[in-house]
């Protein structure tokens, strides 16, 4: 049976992306402050709501972790299942006040080369994204200190 082109256009596949975010807050006087874990959780709800406006099928799993070196600094790991890549990268750029994405090769060499990480530095922090090869393994990594939460 041959499927029509209209069927192919409406078929969507979910892609998985791992995201790491470090944010800072800038006061009225221009001083940089660290964001608390409570503020991270509020901001992830806002980011999820903005992503969901265009990409109705997307889900976000997240966890806020304390930095190893600094007790008062936090960062966030997200596992985002999405269909609209352009919307995702645009909203992540807006979230941290940046607009230039750079490609980095990091990690151990795989059969198909090094892991490719895309990063964006902005006025309010930095975002690093990487493709997920093993979703369950990444969720286990996220859950090492605290149970992750999923937004649908």
What's the domain range around 125?
15-151
- Has residue 116 been placed in a domain? yes
Q: How far is CA 145 from CA 63, 65, 68, in A?
A: 9, 8, 12
pLDDT in tens, 93-128: 999 999 888 988 765 555 444 578 899 999 999 999
Of all residues in the chain, what percent carry a pLDDT higher than 70?
A: 86
- Has residue 6 been placed in a domain? no
- Has residue 3 been placed in a domain? no
- Has residue 5 been placed in a domain? no
- Has residue 102 been placed in a domain? yes
- Has residue 8 been placed in a domain? no
Q: pTM of the prediction?
A: 0.79
The pLDDT of 124-149, averaged and rounded, is 89
- Has residue 55 been placed in a domain? yes
Q: How many domains does the chain have?
A: 1
- Has residue 28 been placed in a domain? yes
């Amino acid at each position: 049976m041959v499927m029509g082109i209209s069927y192919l256009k409406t078929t969507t596949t979910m892609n998985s992306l791992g995201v790491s975010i470090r944010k800072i807050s800038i006061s009225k006087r221009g001083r940089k402050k660290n964001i608390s874990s409570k503020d991270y959780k509020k901001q992830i709800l806002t980011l999820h709501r903005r992503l969901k406006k265009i990409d109705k099928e997307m889900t976000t799993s997240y966890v806020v972790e304390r930095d190893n070196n600094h007790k008062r600094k936090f960062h966030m790991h997200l596992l985002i299942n999405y269909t609209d890549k352009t919307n995702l990268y645009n909203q992540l750029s807006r979230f941290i006040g940046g607009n230039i994405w750079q490609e980095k090769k990091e990690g151990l060499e795989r059969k198909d080369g090094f892991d490719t990480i895309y990063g964006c530095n902005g006025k309010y922090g930095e975002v690093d994204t990487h493709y997920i090869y093993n979703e369950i393994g990444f969720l286990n990594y996220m859950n090492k200190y605290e149970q992750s939460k999923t937004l649908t």
